[in-house]
């Protein structure tokens, strides 16, 4: 039986300008200047400069002609109706947030070539048919930033058929993948860690250097006893391959020098001879014992409305009687660009205010840390804490914290660093999980590698120090720190 039902739903739809404002909040300082330059190029009514240098001209004759025209055509408008003189000073943005010593806080930035580009360039050197080259390019497009092909070959076959209407087979793609796996960096295109290491070892064997014999044994171990090797069942490997303990130690040393993430060194933006570069978005200085925050906006120009529009209006007014439609079109164009310019100037100002409000709240929340730079002074802090302090949405705080850095007297720090969960000690004191992780790292660094500390033992150590923490929580923090389980940390 077919039934009809009428439902009312309240949906919030963001306007294009709201979406642009959200994107501006996410933009770090290093990209903001380029974003402003783009807007200046696209909008002739927006220009660099202070508003006090740009007084709007009032042309009485033009105003009269426009008003006469307005009485004849009710659907037309004049710029005088749209802009009032008292609004003019507000249409500007002046940024004077420089550090007190007037030094520009900026570091050289260089963007390295991407892994995808490197692989595509190498693909161009192969003499293969165009269809195969397109298939290989598609495979390269599925290789992640670590250098791995995480997708199943069968899924890629389906994608090619449905999205780009190219029919292929798993066999054909696997053949092309073998080509890609011969590319640099060694190990790229692997589908898992085992394959990644085996690709690198096979290349070492072909080099026929002094490590050839060790490389061949390493290849046997990772090919036939990979699980045993990762679980450090060394006695079993020694017995089955009939090798000495010293030989196995040499193999382990050889394998640990291989690269588990072949693409990471390229995608970090660092290539040989290049430098990593960060421009801080905020500057915090301690003045009279108290930290103060400013925005690093040295390269952000002042913005104002261009007076050219008044000349356009004058011309439109003088030709209104002979061509009123032309005048209307001109005025509509000016109105659209003026709306856009006004909004952009206000959006930049709103971005500045939101960033300062958020960073100010973070600084106030972590006042002890920003005063002394002592990591143990960091309090547990989540996005919700700052959202409540600023009366902003959690998503807004997240966007402000994303890809932003603060310059302090003890270094440049990403804003995300200050956010962490917390727990209470036996004494009822709330501490940051970062403090607990620091203790874990210290314990593991000092452990006997022949008898590494288990998660249970680490939990007991923390409990003895007053941190009531469960074994599973220790395991979670250890994984977040990228530290292996005890059996994998064990040395011979």
pLDDT at 5: 57
Residues 22, 35 within the same domain: yes
Q: DSSP readout, 159-187?
A: HHHHHS-----HHHHHHHHHHHTTSSSTT
Up-side HSE of residue 465: CA atoms within 13 Å toward CB?
14
Residue 57 is classified by DSSP as P
Q: How confident is the model at residue 247 (pLDDT cuts 50, 70, 90)?
A: very high
Provide the H-helix boundaries in 293-323.
308-318
Whether 48 maps to a domain, the answer reads yes
Whether 2 maps to a domain, the answer reads no
The count of structural domains within the chain is 3
pLDDT at 20: 75
| Residue-range definition of the domain harbouring residue 450 | 422-489
pLDDT at 449: 85
321-362 pLDDT per residue, tens = 555 677 677 777 777 888 888 888 888 899 999 999 999 999
| 162-171, 204-213, 231-240, 378-387: the lowest-pLDDT one | 204-213
pLDDT at 374: 76
Whole-angstrom CA distances from 182 to 176, 202, 446 are 10, 10, 41
The answer to whether 405 and 412 have CB atoms below 8 angstroms apart is: yes
Continuous segment of H or E residues that includes residue 431: strand 430-432
Q: How confident is the model at residue 81 (pLDDT cuts 50, 70, 90)?
A: very low
Residues 307, 243 within the same domain: no
pLDDT at 266: 55
Question: Which one is predicted more confidently, 251 or 317?
Answer: 251
Chain mean pLDDT for the chain: 76
Q: How confident is the model at residue 363 (pLDDT cuts 50, 70, 90)?
A: very high
Tell how far CA 204 is from the center of its chain.
35
Residues 328, 382 within the same domain: yes
Q: How confident is the model at residue 62 (pLDDT cuts 50, 70, 90)?
A: very low
Q: Is the pLDDT of residue 200 over 50?
A: yes
Residues 337, 261 within the same domain: no
Whether 206 maps to a domain, the answer reads yes
Q: Is the pTM of this model over 0.85?
A: no
Q: Which residue, among 379, 380, 352, has the nearest Cα to 367 in the 3D structure? A: 379
- For residues 372-394, average pLDDT: 86
Whether 122 maps to a domain, the answer reads yes
pLDDT at 196: 93
How many other C-beta atoms can be found within 10 angstroms of the C-beta atom of residue 181?
A: 20
Residues 310, 426 within the same domain: no
The answer to whether 316 and 330 have CB atoms below 8 angstroms apart is: yes
- CATH number for the domain including 467? 1.10.10.60
Question: Which one is predicted more confidently, 405 or 102?
Answer: 405
End position of a domain, from candidates 399, 419, 439: 419
The answer to whether 417 and 294 have CB atoms below 8 angstroms apart is: no
420-479 pLDDT per residue, tens = 766 666 665 666 677 788 888 889 988 888 889 999 999 999 888 888 888 888 888 888
151-177 pLDDT per residue, tens = 899 989 988 888 778 899 999 999 999
Handedness of CA 208, 211, 217, 219 (dihedral sign): negative
Residues 147, 257 within the same domain: yes
């Amino acid at each position: 039986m077919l039934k009809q039902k009428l439902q009312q739903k309240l949906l919030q739809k963001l306007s294009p300008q709201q979406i642009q404002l959200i994107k501006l909040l996410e933009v770090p300082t290093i990209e903001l200047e380029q974003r402003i330059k783009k807007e200046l190029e696209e909008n002739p009514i927006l220009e660099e400069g202070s508003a006090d240098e740009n007084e709007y001209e009032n042309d009485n004759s033009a105003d009269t002609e426009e008003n006469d025209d307005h009485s004849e055509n009710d659907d037309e408008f004049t710029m005088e109706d749209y802009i009032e003189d008292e609004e003019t000073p507000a249409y500007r943005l002046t940024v004077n947030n420089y550090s007190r010593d007037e030094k520009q806080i900026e570091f050289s930035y260089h963007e390295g070539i991407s892994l995808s580009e490197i692989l595509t360039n190498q693909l161009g050197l192969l003499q293969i048919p165009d269809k195969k080259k397109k298939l290989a390019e598609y495979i390269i497009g599925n290789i992640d930033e670590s250098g791995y092909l995480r997708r199943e070959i069968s899924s890629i076959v389906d994608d090619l058929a449905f999205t780009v209407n190219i029919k292929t087979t798993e066999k054909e793609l696997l053949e092309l993948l073998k080509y890609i796996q011969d590319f640099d960096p060694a190990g790229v295109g692997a589908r898992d860690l085992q394959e990644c290491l085996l690709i690198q070892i096979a290349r070492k064997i072909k080099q026929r250097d002094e490590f050839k014999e060790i490389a061949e044994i390493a290849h046997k171990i990772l090919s036939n006893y990979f699980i045993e090797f990762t679980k450090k069942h060394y006695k079993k490997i020694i017995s089955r391959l009939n090798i000495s303990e010293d030989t196995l130690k040499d193999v382990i040393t050889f394998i640990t020098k291989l690269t588990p993430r072949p693409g990471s060194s390229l995608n970090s933006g660092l290539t040989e001879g290049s430098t990593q570069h960060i421009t801080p978005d905020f500057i915090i200085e301690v003045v009279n014992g108290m930290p103060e925050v400013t925005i690093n906006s040295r390269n952000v120009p002042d913005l104002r409305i261009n007076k050219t529009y008044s000349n356009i209006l004058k011309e439109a007014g003088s030709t209104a009687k002979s061509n009123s439609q032309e005048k209307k079109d001109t005025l509509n164009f000016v109105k659209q660009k003026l709306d856009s310019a006004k909004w952009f100037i206000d959006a930049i100002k709103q971005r500045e205010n939101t960033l300062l409000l958020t960073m100010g709240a973070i600084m106030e929340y972590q006042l002890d840390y920003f005063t002394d730079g002592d990591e143990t002074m960091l309090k547990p802090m989540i996005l919700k804490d700052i959202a409540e302090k600023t009366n902003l949405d959690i998503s807004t705080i997240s966007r402000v914290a994303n890809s932003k850095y603060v310059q302090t007297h003890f270094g440049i720090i990403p804003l995300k660093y200050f956010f962490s969960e917390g727990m209470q000690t036996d004494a009822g004191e709330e501490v940051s999980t970062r403090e607990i992780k620091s203790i874990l790292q210290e314990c593991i660094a000092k452990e006997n590698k022949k008898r590494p500390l288990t998660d249970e033992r680490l939990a007991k150590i923390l409990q003895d120090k007053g941190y009531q923490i469960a074994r599973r929580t220790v395991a979670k923090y250890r994984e977040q720190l990228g530290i292996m389980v005890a059996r994998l940390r064990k040395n011979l």
